[in-house]
């Protein structure tokens, strides 16, 4: 008979074989990312510290077993006398075959089934540890998504978003499998703390259970070799909330975090971003409450989504060579990687002084008119139609399909995402002096009325404003955005709108203490133009 250590060695070899056979693309689509042995050990050891003085035997549940990394850790760390039973589900045929071969004599029941379609048993479980599949919503069929949303609504009276990933449904629907006071531990993407669809998870954790601990791994510490996702461990007890303290920790280890802060459960709001609660554990001191926000000063829009940049965006000289009239071309900025100078100067035609100069196709004329009057342009459009570009999601919803949504040239831009490594800022601000619009790797900043009036009245304010934007430490914006594996930070328009803009008001010379009830009153102390 093999020892537990020998079985674990064999499990790791089998897991590596399955991963290789499945391939990275297929594993990504199916959300198959096995838990590293050291991480599983850390989680199980944490659970044993919590459990060992409870004086009750463990009935273990693993809703998505894989090859059994958590169960292997359970057998090596927790005394066998403390484990009454163990039950698991696994959907993938190959993993079921390996798991049954590995654990057939150990007491683990391996059911070949989709956990989310199983009915909870009468005898519930008191310890759940799992790493559910990270399947994004667009890989779920619409009918299946609706079924899961209905299950959540009927069982828990909670409404889940259609953008929720599969792991959200695992966490919510596992509730029915757990007995009172059961301990539940989930290794899931940290993004649930920041994204809108994560609010249903946060509502469940704050209103339905005793949330004990959330451990967030450092954004640059990706737990899975080929999954660019920042991970978190969520620990709760299936008991009514008692307004106990909840630990928010950060670092490479659940049991030995770099830093830990505590909040009372009543302080947690489902609609808020929870990453802000890591505070100094994230390397940032808690920030003062801002007086003025970016959204008070700017209307912030995401850049254009063309549906096919390679077709709709092309060098200006090539567009002219094809015969596309200038009236159907708009200047557009290249990707941020191609822009080294933060000030984008303009030529006499409104195009940026960049090489190559890029044009965006934007025409409102119907096909028959284009075909009759502009044969070169029509030939180009026909080539696109032959490749199905007119039938893509975005193009098919535009009339005509080669027109674009309205995005005027913004005076200021902010990059949409960045890593902030090697001395670079995670987000960059640009001053656009051209007539170029931008596509959706940028956030477009349009000054609101009072700020626009002030800028129009005194052009030197443009220089003051941009000097403040350019010198601003955009690391301070990180808590307002979201982070992905490998330290990739991303900012949506509504997130930038909620970032503090106090530093801009100081730079413009507006007294910081002057804040009118409405955003339009921010610059009331500036003289109105004649």
Q: What does the pLDDT look like over 448-477, one tens digit per residue?
A: 988 888 888 888 889 999 998 988 876 667
68 membership: H or E segment, kind and range: none
pLDDT of residue 472: 82
- Please tell me which of 345-349, 419-423, 477-481 the model is most confident about, judged by mean pLDDT: 345-349
Please report the pLDDT score of residue 391 as a whole number. Answer: 93
Instruction: Give pLDDT, residue 247.
Output: 95
Sorted by where each begins, the domain ranges of the chain are 4-282, 294-521
136-141: average pLDDT = 83
* Selected residue with higher pLDDT from 30 and 92: 92
Question: What local confidence, expressed as pLDDT, does residue 282 receive?
Answer: 42
Angle (CA) 173-177-178 rounded to 5° is 110
259 versus 442: the higher-pLDDT residue is 442
Q: Residue 151 pLDDT more than 90? A: yes
Spacing of C-alpha 308 from chain mean position: 23
Residue 515: pLDDT band (50, 70, 90) is very low
pLDDT of res. 525: 40
Give, to the nearest 10 degrees, the angle between helix 199-207 and helix 166-173: 20
Higher pLDDT, residue 517 or 163: 163
How far out from the chain centre does Cα 408 lie? 28
Q: What is the pLDDT of residue 277?
A: 85
pLDDT of residue 478: 66
Q: What angle do CA 152, 154, 155 make, to 5 degrees?
A: 65
Eight-state DSSP code of residue 422? T
pLDDT at residue number 289: 62
Amino acid 45: pLDDT: 96
The pLDDT value recorded for residue 137 is 82
| Listed range (70-74, 92-96, 412-416, 451-455) with the worst mean pLDDT | 451-455
pLDDT band at 221, cuts 50/70/90? low
pLDDT tier, 229 (very low <50, low <70, confident <90, very high otherwise): low
- What is the pLDDT of the chain when averaged over all its residues? 87
Phi, psi of 405 (to 5 degrees): -70, 160
**Domain 4-282 is of which CATH architecture?**
3-Layer(aba) Sandwich (3.40)
Q: Which of 92-106, 206-220, 483-497, 499-513 has the lowest mean pLDDT?
A: 499-513
- Amino acid 459: pLDDT: 84
**Largest Cα–Cα separation, the chain:** 92
Max mean pLDDT among 50-54, 432-436, 478-482 falls in 432-436
DSSP 8-class letter at 392: S
Asked if residue 444 has pLDDT above 80, the reply is: yes
Which residues have C-beta within 8 Å of that of residue 273, sequence separation ≥ 6?
193, 194, 479, 480
Residue 428 has pLDDT above 80, yes or no: yes
Can you give the pLDDT at residue 61?
Answer: 98
Whether the predicted pLDDT of 371 surpasses 80? yes
Supply the pLDDT for residue 408: 95
Alpha helices, DSSP H, located in 300-343: 309-312, 316-322
Confidence of residue 487 (pLDDT cuts 50, 70, 90): low
Q: Region 242-264: what's the mean pLDDT? A: 90
Please give the average per-residue pLDDT across 50-78, as a whole number.
95
The answer to whether residues 191 and 227 touch, using CB atoms and an 8 Å cutoff, is no
The full length of the chain comes to 530
Q: Which residues pair with 88 in a beta bridge?
A: 62, 110
Which of 361, 470, 487, 455 is closest to 415 using CA atoms?
470
Q: Which two tokens stand for residue 175?
A: 């509730």
Contact (CB, 8 A) for 237 and 181: yes
Confidence check: pLDDT of 77 > 80: yes
Higher-pLDDT residue of 35 and 289 is 35
Question: Distance between CA atoms of 48 and 52, rounded to whole angstroms?
Answer: 5
Distance CA 432, CA 344 (A): 5
Give me the pLDDT at residue 186, please: 97
CA 523 – CA 514 distance, rounded (Å): 9
Residue 457 tokens read as 């009245």
pTM over cut 0.75: no
Indicate the pLDDT class of residue 423, thresholds 50, 70 and 90.
low
**pLDDT of amino acid 134:** 87
């Amino acid at each position: 008979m093999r020892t537990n250590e020998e079985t674990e060695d064999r499990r790791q070899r089998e897991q590596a074989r399955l991963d290789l056979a499945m391939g990275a693309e297929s594993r990504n689509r199916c959300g198959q990312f096995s838990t590293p042995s050291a991480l599983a050990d850390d989680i199980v050891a944490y659970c044993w510290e919590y459990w060992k003085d409870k004086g009750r035997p463990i009935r273990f549940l693993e809703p998505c077993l894989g090859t059994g990394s958590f169960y292997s850790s359970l057998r090596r760390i927790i005394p066998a006398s403390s484990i009454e039973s163990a039950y698991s589900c696994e959907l993938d045929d190959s993993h079921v075959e390996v798991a049954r071969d590995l654990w057939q004599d150990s007491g683990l029941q391996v059911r070949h089934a989709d956990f989310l379609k199983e009915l909870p048993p009468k005898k519930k479980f008191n310890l759940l540890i799992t790493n559910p599949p990270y399947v994004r919503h667009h890989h779920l069929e619409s009918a299946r998504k609706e079924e899961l949303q209905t299950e959540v609504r009927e069982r828990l009276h909670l409404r889940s978003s259609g953008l929720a990933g599969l792991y959200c449904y695992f966490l919510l629907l596992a509730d029915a499998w757990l007995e009172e006071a059961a301990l539940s531990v989930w290794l899931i993407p940290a993004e649930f703390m920041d994204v809108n669809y994560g609010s249903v998870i946060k509502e469940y954790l704050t209103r339905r259970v005793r949330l004990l601990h959330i451990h967030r791994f450092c954004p640059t510490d990706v737990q899975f070799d080929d999954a660019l996702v920042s991970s978190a461990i969520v620990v709760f007890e299936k008991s009514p909330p008692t307004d106990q303290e909840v630990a928010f920790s950060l670092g490479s280890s659940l049991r030995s975090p770099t830093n830990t802060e505590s909040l009372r459960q009543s302080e947690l709001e489902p609609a808020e971003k929870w990453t802000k609660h890591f505070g100094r554990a994230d390397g940032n001191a808690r920030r003062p409450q801002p007086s003025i926000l970016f959204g008070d000063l700017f209307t912030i829009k995401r850049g254009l989504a063309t549906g096919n940049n390679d077709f709709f965006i092309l060098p200006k000289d090539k567009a002219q060579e094809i015969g596309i009239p200038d009236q159907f071309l708009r200047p557009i900025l290249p990707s941020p990687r191609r822009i080294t100078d933060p000030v984008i100067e303009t030529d006499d035609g409104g195009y940026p002084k960049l090489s190559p100069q890029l044009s965006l196709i934007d025409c409102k004329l119907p096909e028959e008119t284009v075909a009759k009057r502009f044969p070169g342009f029509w030939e180009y459009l026909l080539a696109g139609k032959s490749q199905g570009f007119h039938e893509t999601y975005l193009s098919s919803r535009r009339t005509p399909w080669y027109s674009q949504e309205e995005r005027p040239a913004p005076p200021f831009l902010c990059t949409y995402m960045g890593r902030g490594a090697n001395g670079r800022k995670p987000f960059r601000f640009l001053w656009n002096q051209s007539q170029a619009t931008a596509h959706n790797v940028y956030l477009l900043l349009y000054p609101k009325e009072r700020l626009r009036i002030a800028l129009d009245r005194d052009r030197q304010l443009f220089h003051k404003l941009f000097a403040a934007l350019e010198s601003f430490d955009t690391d301070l914006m990180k808590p307002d955005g979201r982070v992905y594996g490998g330290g990739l930070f991303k900012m949506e328009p509504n997130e930038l709108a909620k970032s503090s803009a106090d530093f801009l008001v100081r730079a413009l010379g507006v007294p910081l203490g002057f804040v009118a009830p409405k955003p339009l009153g921010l610059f009331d102390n500036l003289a109105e133009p004649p």
